Amino acid sequence: MATPPAEQPRELSADEDREGEDAEGEDGDEDAEAEGPDPLDAPVPEPPPPSDAKEPEPVPAVLWESESDHLDASVPQAAASAEAEIDPAALDIDAVKVVNRLHQNGHQAYLVGGCVRDLLVGRTPKDFDIATSALPSEVRGIFRNCRLIGRRFRLAHVYFRDGKIIEVSTFRANPITDLDPMEAVPVEERSDDLLIGDDNVFGTAEQDARRRDFTINGLFYDVAEGRVLDFVRGRRDLAERLVRTIGDPERRMREDPVRILRAVRFGSRLEFDIEPRTYAAMEGAVEDLPRCAPPRLLEDTFRILRGGVAAPGLALLFALDALRFLLPPLDTYLKEHGAEGEKTLAAFARAADARVKAGQTLEDAVLLAVLLVPVMGTAPESAPDAPSAVPEAIEALLQEFVRTARLPRRIAERCRMMLLAQATLSGQRRRRGSLGSFRRHPLFNESLTVFACTVEATGQGAAELAAWQSGQAPVLAPGSPAPPGRRRRRRRRGGRGGPGGGSRPAGGGAPGGSPPPG
């Protein structure tokens, strides 16, 4: 059963916040300040926009379609009939407009890929893509609310109001060889290096279907006739609930090893099995993962985490021995802790998955932090008195992602700060500064989400979580360490007394003539 999302902390009034700070000034302020800055007091980077969005560049306002009456939204009569293989009501109306306009200009155009797959299995598509015989430049000439993107191959994006984008691609052929799906690769055509370097060879609809990665993603839907076009036996695999490559599995995986991650994501998301020959090819191609562009590996890894299938996805990646290239500290943790480590990491991943499935949008830094909490609890710290309290392996992972995988530095820094906050949230570590100011920290809510996942995964810390969610603060655990550095003398009310204490009101007491509290 999915765990309900954690409650958001109650907003404190100014009086309550001051009361909390005053109370802490009496009981805990002797440890509140020390030499050196608190890492959590550093500037907090803003979160980056979602990196899996279709349009990475700013879109001129003029391109967003606001008056689409010039596009025909009617569904052809054949598709609207009871014999249509997909309910016309389930189709995106703007995608239908694009298909109709392409037809009106003499081009073939079909819905393609994931939207057809999802509709056939009863799921709601994330978006609708179109494949057409029109060249990218011809698509651009047909739609005034369109522009071309892409370097590896050109795609057309057609823009609609509310930020919707319909992606239109031109039919392409396999740039290496256009083989029959079941045909073996001739010996003379085999190569040690099959990575795709050019994917801009135009072709027919059937060639375009066969160049795709998996049979379940190679289905086309003809809106005008209301029928599915299946050139690759994708409907068979949908019925059998299998993820299978189109063509020779070994060759397809070696062409693009990122397909390993895509197969894991589709299998986990749809709860499909991976066809045995495809799985064997995935195992054989794992060693080729380092040859792929690091940003692509990172993005497809995060797509698994963002999709609410982190638990099954990570388990499958670990079984394939792919985690050592994707998330090395997690791989080390699992190999060192065996079955118990797998159980623990799965519990943390399920806690994050539950929130995603409940409709929450968790930023990448939160997802990464949730998975690193169990590793942080077992790895040695970088130094005995390290103020960050983040293990060296975690620091190394974040820095390596920044350097090689182009992980935005702000994601790495936000993740690091969330991990720093966990000891304070759990009541295991005092913090420089008041807990009232901690509650106002820009990453407090995100850090609390990470802590809530920890509570659900471990069953520990429920009282502390409830205290934070109610606007209070937990009682510090006995023996919890103070922040490193020199302690400041406890501040007294009404002035500084005692020898060398500085000036004080006449009469040697607090204002009003009363003696200072003892």
Catalytic residue list:
127, 129, 213
Token reading at 163:
């930020």
What distance in Å separates the CA atoms of residue 114 and residue 128, rounded to the nearest whole number? Answer: 8
Q: Sign of torsion, CA 428 434 438 442?
A: negative
Q: Tell me, what DSSP letter sits at residue 272? A: P
List all residues 6 or more positions away from 172 whose beta carbon is below 8 Å from its beta carbon: 153, 199, 200, 201, 202, 203, 207, 208, 211
3-state helix vs strand vs coil in the chain, percent to 5: 45, 10, 45
Nearest to 160 by CA among 148, 147, 145: 145
Q: Distance (Å, rounded) from C-alpha 500 to C-alpha 132?
A: 84
Plot region of 404 (φ>0 → left; ψ -120 to 50 → alpha; else → beta): alpha
Sign of the Cα torsion 197, 199, 201, 206 reads positive
Of the candidates 19, 42, 143, 92, which has an alpha carbon nearest to the alpha carbon of residue 412?
42
Please give the C-alpha separations between residue 197 and each of 122, 180, 207, 387, in angstroms, as whole numbers.
36, 21, 18, 46
- Between CA 490 and CA 30 the distance in angstroms is 4
